[in-house]
């Protein structure tokens, strides 16, 4: 699996958009970008994933650059409950087995 690079921490004001970057410069053509988050003392929560097109769901938007070497997770209106560690993971999907390889993620602190 390709490695990812994320900033260790970010701050965001409540109600503002939180933009979390991820670099994955060695990503392969068949690797997806996945985002999970982990709120303190809970299990990781799946947020969104994408291959090359931008994706949006009820939780967030995922913007992937055209060269696929980086992506940004956007929480459009951050709330205090979005305070968590956010993990960006790249993995091949639907080909045999692919474990999730978590890095240390980005610790997002949303403040009032």
Partner 1 sequence: DTGVSQNPRHKITKRGQNVTFRCDPISEHNRLYWYRQTLGQGPEFLTYFQNEAQLEKSRLLSDRFSAERPKGSFSTLEIQRTEQGDSAMYLCASSFFLREGRGTDTQYFGPGTRLTVL
Residue 37 interacting with partner 1 (CB under 8 A): no
Among 32, 61, 63, 69, binds partner 1 (CB under 8 A): 32
Q: Indicate the residue among 8 and 112 with the shorter CB distance to partner 1.
A: 8
x/- mask, partner 1, residues 84-103, rule CB under 8 A, reads ---x-----xxxxxxxxxxx
Mention every residue, 6+ apart, whose C-beta is less than 8 A from residue 47. 35, 36, 37, 57, 59, 60, 73, 86
How many other CB atoms are found less than 10 A from the CB of residue 69? 14
10 binding partner 1? (CB under 8 A): no
DSSP letter assigned to residue 85: E
Name the β-bridge partners of 49: 34
Site for partner 1 in 38-57 (CB under 8 A): 41-46, 49
């Amino acid at each position: 699996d390709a490695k990812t690079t994320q900033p260790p921490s970010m701050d965001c004001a409540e109600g503002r958009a939180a933009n979390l970057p991820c670099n994955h410069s060695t990503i392969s053509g068949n690797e997806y970008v996945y985002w999970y988050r982990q709120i303190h003392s809970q299990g990781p929560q799946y947020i969104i994933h994408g291959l090359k097109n931008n994706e949006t769901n009820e939780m967030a938007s995922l913007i992937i650059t055209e060269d696929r070497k980086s992506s940004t997770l956007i929480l459009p209106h951050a709330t205090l409950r979005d305070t968590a560690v956010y993990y960006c993971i790249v993995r091949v999907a639907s080909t045999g087995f692919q474990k999730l390889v978590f890095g240390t993620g980005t610790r997002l602190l949303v403040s009032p």
